[in-house]
Amino acid sequence: MFDRDRWQEVYQTLKSNKLRTFLTAFGVFWGIFMLMVMLGAGKGLQNAAFDGLGDFATNSAFIFARQTSIPYKGFPRGRFWEFHTSDMKALEENIPEIDVLAPRLQPWGGNGSNNVVRGIKTASYYISGDYPSFSKIDPVSLMQGRFINDIDVLEKRKVAVIGIRVRQELFKPDENPIGQYIRIQGVYFQVVGVHEPKNKVNIGGEKDQTIYLPFSTVQVVYNLGDVVHYIMVTAKKNIPVSIVEKKCIALLAARNGVAPEDEQAFGHYNLEEQFNKMNGLFAGIQGLIWIVGIGTLIAGVIGVSNIMLIIVKERTKEIGIQRAIGASPWRVISQVITESVVLTSIAGTFGLMLGVLLLESLNKALNSAGGSNSDGMMFMNPGVSFHIAILALVILVLSGIIAGLIPARKAVRVKPIDALRYE
């Protein structure tokens, strides 16, 4: 393997026709270069898509009541109905697969009607009544203060956690909002925290414009009784949330006089299903990239194999002399394969390095442009992992072996006496 004469022979063979060697190597170079670029671009697309989810609980589902479409137990079709606080307790007691249950009230949205006042400033924001468990499903980053806690709910405290945009619009830049009061639909609440979103999943409104209030406080001060507008649930580990979702819908239907087959009576959104669809989509994209990339690489390898056939034909007499003076068939085969592997490895390594360099340059350009997926970027951190690069190098070596194997076998099939006569 480390025979100096062999390596000199390899060098002289590839050097003897520089243009042919370059054009042959370029096919392999281009194949691995395109494979790296396409894999990196696919990873960038995937990163941008999944970054929008942040640390949102992907094993979660959202359920809310809608108008019925089937008459049932004396109730007419078209009936409007709602969840109740007692339903939440029933769900916790009868569905052991539930990990986190978070009921929510949202009596007003940011629909253009001003619902928040501070001093002479008025604006319209999304107001929601939540339990602390909500932060386990859709966590937010706290810039100041704290989030709603269990004591706030138990004592029905009039406290509020405001979004970053609410702070910017209602307070001066150098003003500390913590401890200040805002009026929501005529009721004063003390600001105890300022939050900003950690993901782009919006359930019930834009997060930076959302004001979180204690669930029980919203029920009492706005005379909502025991109504629950919608619920959010997560499943325990290794349990599909679709199972929890179906059980919740069945139990809620039975408790509220809704026909079991009335699918229109419930609105629901399963984030786990959407997450799995996205995973499947990007797995398909990665598979397609590998097929196209390997196909392009194979085209280059075929070119190498054809050139090696030409080289073997040109060196038929030389090979005959080697065989005549005692060179074994393996010596001839290994020589041809070595030349093929060297050609593909050098060309492929340059292609891999240039592909990775291009992806790194693109990544730096995106970051220097203020790149974050919150800006709606299509790519985020494009690149290939180390094990993918190693796999590409292994494919290169195997490709070189395959490219040289056919010409090498052809070379040893020629009898020494016939090779010596070859002109």
Q: Average pLDDT of 247-274? A: 90
Q: Is the pLDDT of residue 354 over 80?
A: yes
Those residues with Cβ within 8 angstroms of residue 131's Cβ, 6 or more apart along the chain or in another chain: 102, 103, 148, 153, 215
Q: Is the pLDDT of residue 1 over 60?
A: no
One-letter amino acid identity for 324?
Answer: A
> What local confidence, expressed as pLDDT, does residue 160 receive?
96
For helices 329-368 and 386-413, give the axis angle rounded to 10 degrees: 150
Q: Is the pLDDT of residue 54 over 70?
A: no
- Taking alpha carbons only, the member of 271, 228, 12, 257 closest to residue 106 is 228
> What local confidence, expressed as pLDDT, does residue 327 receive?
63
> What local confidence, expressed as pLDDT, does residue 204 receive?
64
Least confident of 133-147, 247-261, 303-317, 380-394: 303-317
Top-confidence residue, 423 or 113 = 113
Residue range 148-165, pLDDT digits in tens: 999 999 999 999 999 999
Split at pLDDT 50, 70, 90, the class of 373 is: very low
Token look-up 């056919």 returns: 406
Domain residue ranges of the chain, discontinuous segments joined by +:
4-54+276-421, 82-256
Top-confidence residue, 417 or 247 = 247
Residue range 182-216, pLDDT digits in tens: 999 999 999 999 998 887 776 766 888 899 999 99
pTM exceeding the 0.75 threshold for the entire prediction: no
Percent of the chain exceeding pLDDT 70 equals: 82
Rounded Cα–Cα distance for residues 134 and 88 (Å):
14
> What local confidence, expressed as pLDDT, does residue 219 receive?
93
382-417: string of b/e by CB count within 10 Å (b at 16+)? Answer: bbbeeebbeebeebbeebbbbbbbbbbeebbebeee
> What local confidence, expressed as pLDDT, does residue 392 receive?
77
Residue range 2-31, pLDDT digits in tens: 556 556 666 666 666 777 778 777 878 888
Q: Average pLDDT of 246-251? A: 94
Query: Strand, helix or coil at 203?
Result: coil
Q: Using CA atoms in the order 323, 329, 331, 332, what is the torsion angle rounded to 10 degrees?
A: 70
Residue range 97-141, pLDDT digits in tens: 999 999 999 887 655 567 899 989 999 999 999 999 988 888 888
Q: Average pLDDT of 220-230? A: 92
Pairing mode of beta strands 116-118, 181-184: antiparallel
Computed over its alpha carbons, how large is the radius of gyration of the chain?
34
One-letter amino acid identity for 359?
Answer: L
Pull the structure tokens for residue 21.
């060697």
Summary mean pLDDT of the chain: 82
Least confident of 27-31, 334-338, 409-413: 409-413
> What local confidence, expressed as pLDDT, does residue 318 receive?
65
Those residues with Cβ within 8 angstroms of residue 42's Cβ, 6 or more apart along the chain or in another chain: 282, 285, 286, 289
